[in-house]
Structure 1
Amino acid sequence: MSEAVASPARIGRPAIGALGILALALGTLQSVVEPALPLLQRELGVSPAEGALVANALLVTGAVVTPVAGKLGDRYGGKRVLVLLMAVVSAGGLLASVAPNLPVLLLGQVLQGVMVGALPLSFILVRKHLSAGESQVAIGVVVALFTGGGMVGTLVAGPIAEGMSWHGMFALPTIAIIVTTLVVTRLMPHDPPVRSDTGIDWPGVVLLSGALLAFMLGLVTVTSGGLPPLVVGALAVVVVALATGWVVVERRAASPMVDLRMLAKPAMWNACVLTFVITVSSGMVILLLPQLFAVSADGYGFGADTTDIGLFLLPGAIAGAVSDSVGGVAARRFGPRAVVVVGTVATAATLLVLASLHTAAWQLVLAKVVTAFAAGVGTTALLAGAATAVETRDTGIATSLLVVTRVIGVALGAQIGGAVLAAGADPTTGRPAEAAFVTGFATAGLVAALSLLVVRVTKKGVQA
C-alpha cells in the first residue's frame, strides 16, 4: 500500500503533551507585549500610536496566515508546515529579543505572527492520528494550554523585564518554543499530504498584508502630525488601491484565502459587521487600560510597573478565557442576537462610566473584566451562529472569515486608541492628557453601542 493511502500512525500522550506545551509557550510569547507596552514605549522612545504597532504587527500576520494554514497543512503535511512555521516564529522571537529599535522589533513581531497558524495545524495533526472522540479531548487540551499561556505571559512579562530586560520577555518563551518544537518533531509521526487541485492564493495573501500594514502605518503617521496634505492623500490612495486589489483578486481566485462571496449570505454579513464593531471597541480598551495604569501616580494615573499591570490585567484575561466557552452555550440557548445585545449594553455602559470615573485601580480592573467577557461571549456566539447558519461544507470558510474580521477589528481598535492618546499628548512631556483617555473610553463605548444599531437594522431587514 502506498504512503498516500496508508493509515496514519497513532500518537500517544507524550506527543499530545508536547503539542500542548508548545501551545503554552506560544500563548506566553503572544501575550507578553500587552502589559509591557508602556515599558516598551519608554525604552524605545515612541508614542502610544507607534507602540500599538508592536502588538498589531503580530495580529496582521495572524489574520493573513490563519486562512491559509490549514490548506498548507493539507497540501504539504501538517507536521512539516508546523515545524516550518515554528522556525519562522523562533526567528521572530530571537530577533525581537535583540531588537535595538522599533523597526527591528516590528519585524520580529511580524515573523512571530505566523504562530496563529499553529492551532489549526495542531488540530489537523490530532484529527489525522486519533479517533473523533480522542481528537476532541486533545484539541481541548491544546486550546486550554494556549489560553493558559496567555495568562502566563501576562504575569511573567513584568518579572522578566525587571529581572533581566524587556528583551528577555521574548527570549525565554522563544527558547521554550525551540526546545518544544524539537520534541514535537521527534514524537509526532509524519502525516501524508492530501492532493488538491486548488492552489494557495498567494496574491491575496500579499495584498491583504500590504493593505493592513499600510493602513496602520498611515494612521500612525497621520496622527503624529506635520505631514503635508499631499502625503496624507498618497497614503490613502495606497491603502484603497491595495484593498481594492485584494477584493478583486479574492472574487476571481479559484481558491481564495477568504471567500468574499460568503458575505452575500445575510447571516454572514451581519455576523461580520457585528464582530468588527465589537472587536474595534475591544481593541481600544486593550490599548488604553495598560497606558492609564502606567501614567505617573502624581497626576491622574497609578504609576504601575509592568508586573503590576500584568496583575491588574489578569482577571480580564481569565474572563476572556471563560467567555469563549460560554459564548457557544449562550448562542444555542438565547440566540446570537440576544447575546450581542446584552454584551453591548454592558460594554457601552461600562466604558461610558469609566470615561468619567477612573480614580481607582479596581474600577479599571472591573471594566477590563466586563468588556473582555462581553466581547468574548459576543464574538464567540456570532462565530457559533454563523457556523450553523451555512452549509456544512462552508463551515471552514465562514469561520475563517469571522476569525480574520475579529483580528482586523482588534488591531484597528488598538491603533485608534493609540492615535487618540498620541493626538492628546502634551507636546513637552509626551504624556497623554487625562482628556485623551476620557475621549478614548467614551469613543470605545459609543463604538460598542453601534452594535445595537446594527442589530436593529438587520432585524428589520430580516422581517422585511
Structure 2
Amino acid sequence: MSTPVVSPVRIGRRAVGALGVLALSLGTLQSVVEPALPLLQRELGISPAEGALVANALLITGAVLAPVAGKLGDRYGGRRVLLWLMAVVSAGGLLAGTAPNLPALLVGQILQGVMVGALPLSFILVRRHLSAGESQAAIGVVLALFTGGGVIGTLVAGPIAHGLSWQWMFALPTLVIIAATVAVARLMPDDPPAASDDPIDWPGVVLLSGTLLALMVALVTVTGGDLPPLAAAAVVTAVAALATGWVVVERRASAPMVDLRMLGRPAMRSAFVLTFVMSISFGMVVLLLPQLFAAPADGYGFGLGTTQIGLLLLPGAIAGAVSDSIGGFAARRFGPRAVVVAGIAVTAVAMIGLALLHDAAWQLSVAKVLTAFAAGAGTTALLAGTASAVDARDTGIATSLLVVTRLVGVIVGAQAGGVILAAGTDAATGVPAEAAFVTGFVAAGLIAASALTLIRIRKNGVRA
C-alpha cells in the first residue's frame, strides 16, 4: 500500500506579510553599520582596521552559511530552520545592542550573520505553500522588502545613534525581528523535510569559519607592526594551516559545502577570479568612503555625522539594490563579458578619479553610486553567465561558489582598506592622513583594472 501524498497547507497574505516584515527588519539590521562606522570607531576607541572587523564580522558568517542554508531547510524543514536562525540573529542583535566593547560587538555581529539564511528559507516556504505564480510574486515581495530594509538602515542609523545611542541601532531592528519571528511561527504552517542522502558538510563549515576569522585577525595584527616576528609568523602559519585543511576536507567530502572541483573548469575558474577581484575593489570602497566623509573638516575631510553620511551613501545603496536585476538583463542582452568589462572599467576610472579629486562630498557620493552599480551588475552577470554555462545539475554548486567568493572578496577588500588607513594614521591625532585615502583609492582602482588584464589573458588563451 503506497503512502498517501499530503498536499501542503496553503498560506495567506498574513503569512507572506510576516515574512516580508521579517525581511525588511533584517535588511535594516544588516545595513546600519556602514554609515555609522566612523562613529563606532570613535565610541569604542578603535582603529580603522578594527572598524573593518566590525563591518566584516556579519559577512564572515554569511559567507559560511550561504551554501548550506537551503540544504538545512530541505533537510529539517524551512520553517523550523528559519525560526532557529532568527533566534540566533535575535541573540546577536540584543548582544550588539548592549555591547560595552569591541569583542562583544564582534560576537553580536557574527551571530547576526546567520540572517543570510532567511531569504533562501523564505523562498523554500512560499514555494511549498503557494502555486508557482503566487510563489514568484511572494518571492519578489520578500526580496524587495529586504532590499528596502537596507535603504532604511542607511537612513535611520544616524538619527537613532544621535537621538539614543549607537547600541539602539542594533536593538530597535532586533525587537522588530523578534516580533516578526513570533508572527511567522504563528502564521506559517510546518513544511515536511525533504529526504536526502547527502550529509551536511559541518567540518567544511567550521574550517571555513576559522579560516576567515583568522585571516581578518591576521590582517589587523600582522600589518599593525605590534607583533614580534615569531608571533606574526605563527599567525600567518595558522591561517595557512586552516585554509589548507579546509581545501583538503572539501576535496574529500562526498557532499562538500563548496565543490572546489568546479574550479578545474576554465570558465568557472575565470568567473571565480574575476568575482574575487571585483569584490575586493568594492569592499575597499565600502570602507574608505564613510571614513573620508567623517574626517575632520579643518583638513581634507568633511566632518560629517552619521546621519549626513547615511544620506550621502543612500544613492549608492539604491544603485546597488537595482544593479542585480539590471545586471542579469544586461548579461542576456549584451553578454556577460561585455557587462563585466564595463563594470571593471567604470570602477577603475571612478577610483582613480577619486584619488585625484575628492574635495567635494558629491564626488564621493557619485563614486559610490558608480562602483556599487558596477560591482552589482558585473558580479550578477558572472553569476548569470556561469549558471547558463554549466550543466543544470551543477547550477546550485557553481552559483554558491560565486556567492561565497563575492562575500569573501568584500571582506578582504574592506579589511585591506582598513589596514591602509590604519597604517597612515597620525599617532598624535588618531586621524588618517589624506595620502592614506589616496593610496586606498589608487589601490582599489588598480585592483579593478587588473581584472581587465585577466580577461585579456583568458581571451588570448581561448584563441590559442
* Aligned equivalent of 1:204: 204
* Cα-to-partner distance string for 1:354-374 (whole Å, 9 max, x where unaligned): 001100001000100111111
* Aligned equivalent of 1:7: 7
* Aligned equivalent of 2:381: 381
The one-letter code sitting in structure 1 at the alignment partner of 2:319 is A
Matched-pair contact (CA < 8 Å) for 1:205–1:257 = yes
**Aligned-pair distance for 1:323?**
0.6
**Aligned-pair distance for 1:202?**
0.5
Query: Structure 1 length normalisation: TM-score?
Result: 0.99
The one-letter code sitting in structure 1 at the alignment partner of 2:437 is F
The one-letter code sitting in structure 2 at the alignment partner of 1:87 is A
Identity percentage of aligned residues:
75
The one-letter code sitting in structure 2 at the alignment partner of 1:238 is A
Residue correspondence of structure 1 range 206-355 to structure 2 within 5 A: 206-355=206-355
> How many angstroms apart in 1 are the aligned matches of 2:459 and 2:16?
44
**Aligned-pair distance for 1:267?**
1.7
**Aligned-pair distance for 1:346?**
1.1
**Aligned-pair distance for 1:138?**
1.0
**Aligned-pair distance for 1:418?**
0.2
> How many angstroms apart in 1 are the aligned matches of 2:52 and 2:259?
29
> How many angstroms apart in 2 are the aligned matches of 1:200 and 1:2?
29
Of the structure 1 ranges 38-47 and 391-400, higher mean CA displacement relative to structure 2 is found in 391-400
* Aligned equivalent of 1:54: 54
Residue correspondence of structure 1 range 95-106 to structure 2 within 5 A: 95-106=95-106
Q: Does 1:414 align with 2:414?
A: yes
The one-letter code sitting in structure 2 at the alignment partner of 1:168 is W
* Cα-to-partner distance string for 1:373-409 (whole Å, 9 max, x where unaligned): 1111100000111111111111111111110000000
Matched-pair contact (CA < 8 Å) for 1:73–1:121 = yes
The one-letter code sitting in structure 1 at the alignment partner of 2:33 is V
The one-letter code sitting in structure 1 at the alignment partner of 2:342 is V
Gaps of 5+ in 1: none
The SS at the match of 1:255 is coil
* Aligned equivalent of 1:35: 35
* Aligned equivalent of 1:183: 183
The one-letter code sitting in structure 1 at the alignment partner of 2:316 is G
Residue correspondence of structure 1 range 48-127 to structure 2 within 5 A: 48-127=48-127
The SS at the match of 2:270 is helix
> How many angstroms apart in 2 are the aligned matches of 1:416 and 1:2?
59
Matched-pair contact (CA < 8 Å) for 1:160–1:168 = yes
The SS at the match of 1:120 is helix
* Cα-to-partner distance string for 1:52-92 (whole Å, 9 max, x where unaligned): 00110100000001111111100100000000000000000
**Aligned-pair distance for 1:2?**
9.6
Q: Does 1:129 align with 2:129?
A: yes
**Aligned-pair distance for 1:4?**
8.8
> How many angstroms apart in 1 are the aligned matches of 2:239 and 2:177?
35
> How many angstroms apart in 2 are the aligned matches of 1:100 and 1:62?
24
The one-letter code sitting in structure 2 at the alignment partner of 1:291 is Q
Matched-pair contact (CA < 8 Å) for 1:211–1:239 = yes
> How many angstroms apart in 2 are the aligned matches of 1:194 and 1:92?
29
Of the structure 1 ranges 146-155 and 259-268, higher mean CA displacement relative to structure 2 is found in 259-268
Query: Structure 2 length normalisation: TM-score?
Result: 0.99
> How many angstroms apart in 2 are the aligned matches of 1:462 and 1:21?
48
The one-letter code sitting in structure 1 at the alignment partner of 2:448 is A
Of the structure 1 ranges 403-412 and 342-351, higher mean CA displacement relative to structure 2 is found in 342-351
> How many angstroms apart in 2 are the aligned matches of 1:217 and 1:38?
20
Matched-pair contact (CA < 8 Å) for 1:79–1:191 = yes
> How many angstroms apart in 1 are the aligned matches of 2:425 and 2:247?
37
> How many angstroms apart in 1 are the aligned matches of 2:182 and 2:463?
56
**Aligned-pair distance for 1:135?**
1.5
The one-letter code sitting in structure 2 at the alignment partner of 1:142 is V
Of the structure 1 ranges 259-268 and 232-241, higher mean CA displacement relative to structure 2 is found in 259-268
* Aligned equivalent of 1:400: 400
**Aligned-pair distance for 1:223?**
2.2
Relative to structure 1, the CA distance from residue 19 to residue 4 in structure 2 (aligned partners, 3 Å threshold; closer, same or farther) is farther
Matched-pair contact (CA < 8 Å) for 1:91–1:111 = yes
The ranges of structure 1 where at least 4 consecutive aligned residues each deviate by more than 6 angstroms after the TM superposition are 1-4
> How many angstroms apart in 1 are the aligned matches of 2:10 and 2:460?
52
**Aligned-pair distance for 1:3?**
9.1
* Aligned equivalent of 2:25: 25
**Aligned-pair distance for 1:5?**
3.8
The SS at the match of 2:227 is coil
Aligned residues: 464
Matched-pair contact (CA < 8 Å) for 1:4–1:192 = no
**Aligned-pair distance for 1:462?**
2.0
The SS at the match of 1:67 is coil
> How many angstroms apart in 2 are the aligned matches of 1:29 and 1:226?
34
The one-letter code sitting in structure 2 at the alignment partner of 1:456 is R
**Aligned-pair distance for 1:232?**
1.1
Of the structure 1 ranges 312-321 and 5-14, higher mean CA displacement relative to structure 2 is found in 5-14
Relative to structure 1, the CA distance from residue 20 to residue 455 in structure 2 (aligned partners, 3 Å threshold; closer, same or farther) is same
* Cα-to-partner distance string for 1:97-142 (whole Å, 9 max, x where unaligned): 0000000000000000000011111111111111222221111111
Q: Does 1:425 align with 2:425?
A: yes
The one-letter code sitting in structure 2 at the alignment partner of 1:134 is E
RMSD: 1.1
Matched-pair contact (CA < 8 Å) for 1:28–1:150 = yes
